Amino acid sequence: MKYEQLLPPSSSSKPSRRRNLIPIFAIATIAAILAINTLYQSPSSAQINISLKDKRDLFDQWKLKHKQDFSSPTENEYRFEVFLSALEYIENHNSQNHSSVLGLTQFAATTIEEFKAMRTSKLPKNDDSTPMVTLEPSTPLPSTWDWRVQGFVSTIVDQGQCDAVWAYAAIDCLETHYAQTEDQNLTFSAQQIMDCDQNGEGCNGGTPQSAFQYAAQYGLQTEETYPYKGGNGENFKCKYNASEAIKGLCTGSVNLAKKSSIVLQTAVYTNPAIVNIEGAAPDFMFYTSGVIGKTCKVQLADIDHSLAVVGWVQMNGEGAYILKNQWGWEWGDNGYAYISMNSEINNGLGACGLFSSPLMGVY
């Protein structure tokens, strides 16, 4: 698997989606075409008013783009209604000139409840049984830091309809540390952790702490020898081969002090760390560019998604952490999200709950 060596992407460098928006229906008006293009590109600061007919055209184009083919006319109508609700939320958000821009991602016809079941974890993320540490930088930290530029971050994958992020978040940290210390880029197996970690529930969720502990005890095979497939059940029994596992990857993990940006930033400067957020928040589900900020409200009970923080940048006049997601390249800003470093948002929890329960591996 290739590794990335790139500067932080921005909305200006993101490949244009306009080429995917050529109208299918010849009867569409020029005004409707422009409105549709604007919404897919998503940087509009004005309310987009298009007719129901044009919204159906937009829905049909969205289905083609994301290869969605619903099973019946009834299902199609139901998904259209869900799509309209997402469209309304996106239009309203983008009309208010917030720091983030939303768009019609692959989840635009998925309800929040369905999304939680398919893509987020049912298990609690905040495991207070492990030690909590406070970190401070010994020297001033740089204004930007990006582990991708070092060539130590593996490519984005799509976890599919499986909550594998608890395993992937830990693996992202382990891969970068291994690359730093061994001068070799390896992509470790998330499927091994999901199949073999008895403290997790495979596609039904788990915790990064458990994934770190499993890796410490057994080591990890590479993606090549134990490839990702997603799923649970009889076909996903543990197939661990000790002779193919890389040992000594870590000794476990520690929780970082909550509600502190400088603690998280200090940790990320040494190696990617993990944050837990509300992945089912519409501001995250429909994110396409910019910096997720104070509009992403959160309650602790809604924390359900683990991601690796691979650096930080200055964007639109503020600091933003770089979150590596595993929902494919089409989601977000080339698979990544940028989220405010401001720890005063949401009474210290941060945007989407960023500072609610951070943690890092121990190596």
Q: What is the pLDDT of residues 183-225, one digit of tens each?
A: 999 999 999 999 999 999 899 889 999 999 999 999 999 999 9
Cα(160)–Cα(109) distance, integer angstroms? 16
- Name, in order, each residue with C-beta under 8 angstroms of 2's C-beta and a sequence gap of 6 or more: 155
* pLDDT for residue 83: 97
Confidence band of 236 (pLDDT split at 50, 70, 90): confident
pLDDT band at 52 (very low <50, low <70, confident <90, very high): confident
Strand, helix or coil at 352?
A: helix
> Are 38 and 48 within 8 A, CB to CB?
yes
Average pLDDT over the chain reads 86
Q: Look at residue 44 and tell me whether its pLDDT is greater than 50.
A: no
pLDDT at 7: 32
pLDDT at 10 over 50: no
- How far is Cα 93 from Cα 110, in angstroms, rounded to an integer? 18
3-class secondary structure for 273-320? EEEEECCCCHHHHCEEEECECCCCCCCHHHCCEEEEEEEEEEECCEEE
Give the domains, in start order, of the chain with CATH numbers: 20-114 (1.10.287.2250), 116-362 (3.90.70.10)
| Least confident among 228-232, 284-288, 312-316, 326-330 | 228-232
pLDDT recorded at residue 46: 34
Q: What is the pLDDT of residues 249-274, one digit of tens each?
A: 999 999 999 999 999 999 999 999 99
pLDDT of residue 47: 39
Q: Do 256 and 264 touch, CB atoms closer than 8 A?
A: yes
Is the model more confident about 30 or about 141? 141
Instruction: Give mean pLDDT, residues 323-343.
Output: 97
Q: Chain-centre distance of CA 173, in angstroms?
A: 14
The mean-pLDDT minimum among 46-55, 72-81, 132-141, 297-306 falls in 46-55
From residue 44, alpha-carbon distances to 66, 88, 94 in Å are 22, 14, 6
* pLDDT of amino acid 145: 98
Let me know how long the chain is: 363
Three-class secondary structure of residue 133 per DSSP: strand
